[in-house]
Each structure stands twice: as C-alpha cells, then as structure tokens.
Amino acid sequence: MIKNVDDYFKSPILKFPIKSDIGLTIPQLHVKCYKCRGKNVSIRANIYERKRCIELIGGSACPKCKMITPFKYRLYTDRRQMLNITGRWITVNPIKKPLRIRILDFLKKIFYII
Ligand SMILES: [Zn+2]
C-alpha cells in the first residue's frame, strides 16, 4: 500500500487498457477521492501479475483537495473486480464481456434451446 507522497510519485502512471500475460484486460479504472468523492484523479500504481488475478497497488491523487487515496485493486480471471481503499476488500461490478462475445453467447444459448 502507498504510505506517503514519495511512494505515490515512485509508482508509474498507468496507461489503459492494461493487458496481462494471463489474458486479462483492465479497460479503465476509477478510484474516487476518499475525501471529496471527486472522480478527476490521476492514478499511479504498480502492476502485479498473480496466478488468478492482476493486482494494482497504488494511489489516486485528487487535484482539488491535494489528497492521495491509496488503493489496491484486483481483477480475477472470472472477471470479478475487488477494490480495497479502507483496508477492506469490496466487490465492484464485473467487467462486461465485449459485445461480440456477448452476442455469440446469446446465439449459443438460442441454438441450444432450439
Ligand atoms: Zn478530493
């Protein structure tokens, strides 16, 4: 976890989408400012490839209140997303499959029924 401003500036600026070796893609990530809930934050984080997830450990800096919100984020191979801001992990909405894949899934379902 980022503990101070130096840690934050030592972490790389993230460039989205983030693609991992285990086939996961993080299209975008929003970590709201913990103080003002503002969304206009710049995120820096280190990327760690785990066995079944990608983990980002970093911080989001708020230009308004000059505060850094430390966070950990994980995207699992089953598309589950977890975010840890206050020391507790919470589940965020799973990343939707791309439209092309969703259409294919839908067609497969129809053909199985017919
Ligand atoms: Zn703020």
The Cα-based distances of 12 to 2, 44, 92, 93 in angstroms read 12, 5, 23, 25
How much is the pLDDT for 114?
A: 56
Per-residue pLDDT of the chain (114 residues; tens, 9 = 90+): 888 889 999 999 998 999 998 889 998 898 889 899 888 778 999 999 999 999 999 999 999 998 999 999 999 998 899 999 988 999 987 677 777 888 888 888 878 765
- The pTM assigned to this predicted structure is 0.79
Q: How far apart are CA 52 and CA 57, in angstroms?
A: 16
84 CA → ligand 1 middle, Å:
17
**Residue 36 CA, ligand 1 centroid: distance in Å:** 4
Give the pair of three-digit tokens for residue 36: 């003002």
Class of residue 75 by CB neighbours under 10 A (exposed 0-12, middle 13-18, buried 19+):
buried
Are 44 and 59 in contact by the 8 Å Cβ rule? The answer is yes
For residue 88, the model assigns a pLDDT of 92
Pairwise CA distance, residues 111 & 15, whole Å: 40
69 Cα to the center of ligand 1, angstroms: 9
Domain ranges of the chain: 5-113
Q: How far is the CA of 21 from the centre of ligand 1 (A)?
A: 34
CA of 82 to the centre of ligand 1 (A): 22
List the beta bridge partners of residue 74.
55, 82
